[in-house]
Amino acid sequence: MYPNREVFPNAPLALVAAEIRFTDAARLRQQQTKDDVTIALEERFPFAEPLQRADLSLTLGSPPQIQERLGVVLKNASSTETLTIMSESLTYETTAYGSFDEVLEAVVAACDALVAAKVRPAVQRVGLRYIDELRVPEPITDVRQWGKWINDRLIGHLTVGPEDFPATTTQSVSTYDLGDGKGLNFRFAALNQGPIVVPQFLNRPPIESGPFFVLDFDGFHDFSGQDAVPLSSAVVRETLSTVHVPCGTAFQRSITDEARTLFRGASS
């Protein structure tokens, strides 16, 4: 595990997602296969609804092509967890994150269900994403004020601007090479608006517009450029467990002790 790991009762997580992209699996375009997978996962995800997406393809000199993609969305009773299954991907999302082990359990079960249904495409990318929206119990009128809650290494660059005027927004994106096809995309932003996480199929409590700080961690393993790796729960489990560490480490390095006190539910 990573240093200073702690599960906060009032964590600022807006969305946690795990995605497996793979080569096109023809069996996942067959209703019988989708039914088999849905039945295998119905204890945790008892409700299902069809999903239809239209992808627009533009090629120079040719008329636009629209390709319809059919899938299924599986949901828990409270609509705070979903599994979206398409012919080229499997995506888990939750707005009620409990622990990494719970995420891992759901994704591994889904992979096992696909394999049991004879779906064994080549894995292309496995990703784990944490999106935090930090809101604090005091007015933020200048982005520099986030220095009480966010590590100064993310706020310090604002000192290059004019001191007598407030900074209204800031944002940044960085990518880290973790070796062996693995990486971490880290984005942060200070915004003043409505929430950026508005899931299509998930419930999330209403949130008023106002200042908040976004921390977005996307750990991934890119399997392209190597021999084909068939889908298996072992491969997915190993990848998610590995990239979980840099995501958690980066989060702990991004916040202050004042923020930790807030996330524990104690008075700051």
Q: Residue ranges of the domains in the chain?
A: 13-263
HSE-CB at 227 with a 13 A cutoff on CA atoms is 0
**What integer pLDDT is reported at residue 63 of this predicted model?**
63
Asked if 188 and 216 count as a contact pair (C-beta separation under 8 A), the reply is: yes
Question: By three-state DSSP, how is residue 127 classified?
Answer: strand
* Helix axes 100-116 and 31-40, enclosed angle (nearest 10): 140
Cα 261 to chain centroid distance, Å, stands at: 24
Reported pTM: 0.91
* Alpha-carbon dihedral sign for residues 193, 15, 177, 152: positive
Give the residue ranges of the chain where pLDDT is below 70: 1-4, 53-69, 266-268
**What integer pLDDT is reported at residue 226 of this predicted model?**
79
**What integer pLDDT is reported at residue 164 of this predicted model?**
87
- For residues 154 and 167, give the distance between their C-alpha atoms in angstroms, rounded to a whole number: 14
**What integer pLDDT is reported at residue 256 of this predicted model?**
97
**What integer pLDDT is reported at residue 268 of this predicted model?**
47
- For residues 251 and 134, give the distance between their C-alpha atoms in angstroms, rounded to a whole number: 12
**What integer pLDDT is reported at residue 110 of this predicted model?**
98
- For residues 40 and 219, give the distance between their C-alpha atoms in angstroms, rounded to a whole number: 28
**What integer pLDDT is reported at residue 1 of this predicted model?**
60
Give tens-digit pLDDT for 43-66. 999 999 998 765 555 556 666 655
Largest CA distance in the chain: 65
**What integer pLDDT is reported at residue 5 of this predicted model?**
76
**What integer pLDDT is reported at residue 225 of this predicted model?**
80
